[in-house]
Chain A
């Protein structure tokens, strides 16, 4: 490297930073949501996280029909027809001019290219709370590993700043990358979505082999693990899968906790706002008795603590 020439700062696509997150690892945490995901889960809660780069979300409920975005858009994507606001996404440049002109945040730019430093600075604002509660930073998404260079750099910077770091991951990335994450990650919040390989492929778009393989290797290396299991009625919320969750936890040595995450149909509303199709066959909140039964079923078959998230 030539002296005096700084490498460009590592940046990543971030779509949200949420303070006082308390169900993404121990204590009070700040969760950094990164964009981009190699999976396409049918039930995705955060469709805005699937693609890397900027997206424009529209919330027609907030729109007051002022027409400013129509004037602002260079491509005539924003339109008003018969009193209805339309967003024709085809020619959209994702330039964000419409969102900038909107007085009520009915249009929003989702995703921002940010430096490690700027994200870390924001995360550090709650340091006193991490210290008093045993919390820290959680990287989530999307799939943080989809922006591996950024994720690694951010986790490393956070560790250097003395923070506890959790990585929430779907497990679908190269082992060499997980290996590098080992030294900068305190707890892996590891998704376990579906035990049946055929269904796994159907629901998520990828086969489970690499995911399970990475999980075993992390366990062998002594990584602290929390299994995060979304339970979606009509998909994976069946006894066989619940048993498989317990079996998986029992078969590994370093699983500290199993988290059951009852599905909520929030993702659908978000799909609408983004102009995406929701692929869900069925969508409802599982009722409380169902959730308690899931909890009991899994808890009965493993000594690892089972928690509802």
Chain B
């Protein structure tokens, strides 16, 4: 039921939202029921053509779905797509990028087709290029087939209905007939165009971020408002329908890493290429819709800066207080200069968006990939300790092997002082970074559909995966840095300053998971001020590790034609992939403990509240981290109550900007609430939590993930 304070949307829209959020739509989605004919396979001479013909088949055969009262049409109705697979073929699908919807809105499919044709006429493409462009052209034809089916279906509805319904369908039809083949001319057409551009990719299994929705849609709305073509309330309804349809894949029954995670990120505000603020009516409407419907399936980030108006921060704070970490912030004042410093032209830097989580990229121009590795394992190597299990993902090329390499007995004693020990760690860090920097990510897998919306692919005659985009990015991402720094802090003090135990003894203690050493362990936890407490000594060590990592990566801006911006992340691996390979840590954590998420403090170590966390976090020079990182801040509702609470949240965000942070997600949560939701998921079907850039419906998380979220929530009280 709409909350009276925020009820701006119609009852019908609320009912539609409830319908989608119940998971009924998602659960009804079936696996693909058609396959390409064998004779077709024989005809398709190349993987690209094979792929493109499969897209055409999907466009012609996928079930349509038009619900009564929906103001937008188009639906991604194949189960394989929800599972991030290409339906009807064995080909892979893509995510972790934000496609060039803005350009596609400016020129329409029509314009993209013209560009392909012009490129083919100009000649000079090699065989691969010709093949790719032909396949792209087929994908465009397929998109037109899909659209035509919806046009026909809505025409039928128009002729079958009367009165109010007829007017409704006629309105839908008018927009649908023109876009996205042609560039939209009105706000309504623009919203419909964006939906179809995005959802057709999804129908074929590709999950793209949405990007800068207010920048794309705002100018249309302003023009329509001025011309009196639409009211602000009607515009809000349209956007609400976009949000609601974005829940088409909710099933609320599946378990796992959460069903709200389709990388459909949205980024608001900031500046345009010329440096003019984007903030417009659509920015506010999006926040209205999210506040009222509490739909978190599009994780929202707002680009803020020193000159962000107070009312916008206030709006963001209001939404943050609803819980679920629905709205995060990026700091333009930090990010734009560091992108320029990395080498992007200023106009490109100003247009940055995210990849589906929070990594920073230039939308519509970037092939993005990151290479996670666990810095804590490198420290384990230095100490000669390792967890017994072998990595289940050893062979996954993208990841480091995630097993500490053994070291010979007795070698620890050769670290005469802390510097010698640190030098060993650093050499391992260098080895790992160099290994990552040497990777060549190019791939011949077919992806003509995705390539359609990425600048550079047509011109170069190369696909998204094969060096086509203006920027191919491969970003080494370090995990575990806060725990490395915390461990080093303890080692330095106990082993080299107080000399109360030797390094080999410490290694034994860690190998045995603190067996018989509970007192020492507790003492360490009680006595040390770790990262996150605004303590100069702890933060200085973190800065040192950070600087060494970013300098090692920063020395190589580009290798093999691939950009290499540094990033810091764990993306939940602190509770999954990294976990089995970590031993106990010198910072007093036992094996199996969930450690620092992304670049946030390790759970339970931050004792001095959010301001101290922000100070510690921002004590490093983030201009050296062009791919970004995240601070996840958990705050209890009681501490941000009332108007004062909103001011305080706004003050935290402003200070974060001033202190030079990159990305911060404030999550107002209550451990008791989460536990209640774990016991009675049926009562809290839509309670959402956000973990490292993505949000998930709590009820859809597997139990161990829920436990992890609860543990993090409670330890940071």
Residue numbers of A with Cβ under 8 A of B are 18-20, 22-23, 26-28, 64, 66, 103-105, 125-126, 128-129, 131-135, 307-308
Partner of A132, one of B608, B609, B655: B655
Is there contact, CB below 8 Å, between A22 and B655?
no
Is there contact, CB below 8 Å, between B608 and A64?
no
Q: How far is the CA of A129 from the CA of B615 in the complex (A)?
A: 10
Is there contact, CB below 8 Å, between B615 and A28?
no
- Given A22-B648, A28-B648, A308:B642 Cβ within 8 A: yes
Q: Please tell me if B500 contacts chain A, counting CB pairs below 8 Å.
A: no
* Those of B397-420 within 8 Å (CB) of chain A: none
The stretch from B220-228, B447-455, B518-526 touching chain A is B518-526
Q: How far is the CA of A129 from the CA of B640 in the complex (A)?
A: 15
Q: How far is the CA of A26 from the CA of B643 in the complex (A)?
A: 10
- Given A103-B519, A134-B647, A20:B610 Cβ within 8 A: yes
Is there contact, CB below 8 Å, between A132 and B611?
no
Q: How far is the CA of A128 from the CA of B520 in the complex (A)?
A: 37
Residues of A within 8 A of B640 (CB): 22
Q: Please tell me if B654 contacts chain A, counting CB pairs below 8 Å.
A: yes
Is there contact, CB below 8 Å, between A22 and B639?
yes
Q: Please tell me if B395 contacts chain A, counting CB pairs below 8 Å.
A: no
- Smallest beta-carbon distance A28→chain B, Å: 5
| Interface size of B in residues (CB-CB distance below 8 Å) | 29
- Given A103-B526, A104-B526, A128-B655, A133:B609 Cβ within 8 A: no
- Smallest beta-carbon distance A129→chain B, Å: 5
Considering the complex, give the chain A residue whose CB is closest to the CB of B313. A132
* Interchain pairs with CB closer than 8 A, number: 81
Give the secondary structure class of A's interface.
Answer: loop
Residues of B within 8 A of A19 (CB): 608-609, 611-612
- Smallest beta-carbon distance A301→chain B, Å: 21
Considering the complex, give the chain A residue whose CB is closest to the CB of B614. A129
Considering the complex, give the chain A residue whose CB is closest to the CB of B650. A133
Is there contact, CB below 8 Å, between A28 and B651?
yes
Considering the complex, give the chain B residue whose CB is closest to the CB of A66. B519
Extra contacts besides A104-B526, A133-B650 (20): CB < 8 Å: A19-B609, A23-B644, A28-B652, A103-B523, A104-B522, A125-B534, A125-B612, A128-B659, A129-B614, A129-B651, A131-B655, A131-B658, A132-B650, A132-B655, A132-B658, A133-B647, A133-B654, A133-B655, A134-B651, A307-B644
Q: Please tell me if B645 contacts chain A, counting CB pairs below 8 Å.
A: yes
Q: How far is the CA of A64 from the CA of B520 in the complex (A)?
A: 13
Residues of A within 8 A of B526 (CB): 103-105
- Smallest beta-carbon distance A132→chain B, Å: 4
- Given A19-B609, A104-B526, A26:B655 Cβ within 8 A: no
Please encode chain B, from 634 to 668, with 1 for each CB lying within 8 Å of some chain A CB and 0 for all others: 00000111101101101110110011000000000
Residues of A within 8 A of B534 (CB): 125
- Smallest beta-carbon distance B59→chain A, Å: 51
Partner of B611, one of A28, A104, A105, A308: A28
- Smallest beta-carbon distance B610→chain A, Å: 5
Residues of A within 8 A of B650 (CB): 132-133
- Smallest beta-carbon distance A238→chain B, Å: 25
- Smallest beta-carbon distance B317→chain A, Å: 11
Q: How far is the CA of A133 from the CA of B611 in the complex (A)?
A: 12
Considering the complex, give the chain B residue whose CB is closest to the CB of A25. B644
- Given A27-B647, A128-B658, A307:B519 Cβ within 8 A: no
Q: How far is the CA of A308 from the CA of B644 in the complex (A)?
A: 11
- Smallest beta-carbon distance B309→chain A, Å: 14
- Given A128-B658, A307-B642, A133:B615 Cβ within 8 A: no
> 29 A-B Cβ contacts within 8 A?
A18-B609, A19-B608, A19-B612, A20-B609, A20-B611, A20-B612, A22-B645, A22-B647, A22-B648, A23-B641, A23-B642, A23-B644, A26-B644, A27-B647, A27-B648, A103-B522, A103-B526, A104-B522, A129-B651, A129-B652, A131-B655, A131-B658, A132-B654, A132-B658, A133-B652, A133-B654, A134-B651, A307-B644, A308-B642
Considering the complex, give the chain A residue whose CB is closest to the CB of B521. A103
Is there contact, CB below 8 Å, between B615 and A125?
yes
Q: How far is the CA of A270 from the CA of B658 in the complex (A)?
A: 39
Residues of B within 8 A of A126 (CB): 611-612, 615
Q: How far is the CA of A26 from the CA of B644 in the complex (A)?
A: 7
Considering the complex, give the chain B residue whose CB is closest to the CB of A130. B651
Q: How far is the CA of A27 from the CA of B651 in the complex (A)?
A: 8
Considering the complex, give the chain A residue whose CB is closest to the CB of B638. A23
- Given A126-B611, A128-B658, A20:B648 Cβ within 8 A: yes
A-B CB proximity, top 3 nearest: A133-B651, A132-B654, A20-B609
- Smallest beta-carbon distance A226→chain B, Å: 12
- Smallest beta-carbon distance A260→chain B, Å: 12
| Most central of A126, A129, A308 by chain B CB within 10 Å | A129
Residues of B within 8 A of A132 (CB): 650-652, 654-655, 658
Residues of B within 8 A of A129 (CB): 611, 614, 651-652, 655
* Those of B43-68 within 8 Å (CB) of chain A: none
- Smallest beta-carbon distance B520→chain A, Å: 8
Is there contact, CB below 8 Å, between B644 and A22?
yes
Residues of A within 8 A of B651 (CB): 27-28, 129, 132-135
Q: How far is the CA of A31 from the CA of B601 in the complex (A)?
A: 23
Considering the complex, give the chain B residue whose CB is closest to the CB of A18. B609
Considering the complex, give the chain B residue whose CB is closest to the CB of A104. B522
| Most central of A66, A105, A133 by chain B CB within 10 Å | A133
Residues of B within 8 A of A66 (CB): 519
Considering the complex, give the chain A residue whose CB is closest to the CB of B645. A22
Considering the complex, give the chain A residue whose CB is closest to the CB of B659. A128
Residues of B within 8 A of A134 (CB): 647, 651
| Most central of B610, B648, B654 by chain A CB within 10 Å | B648
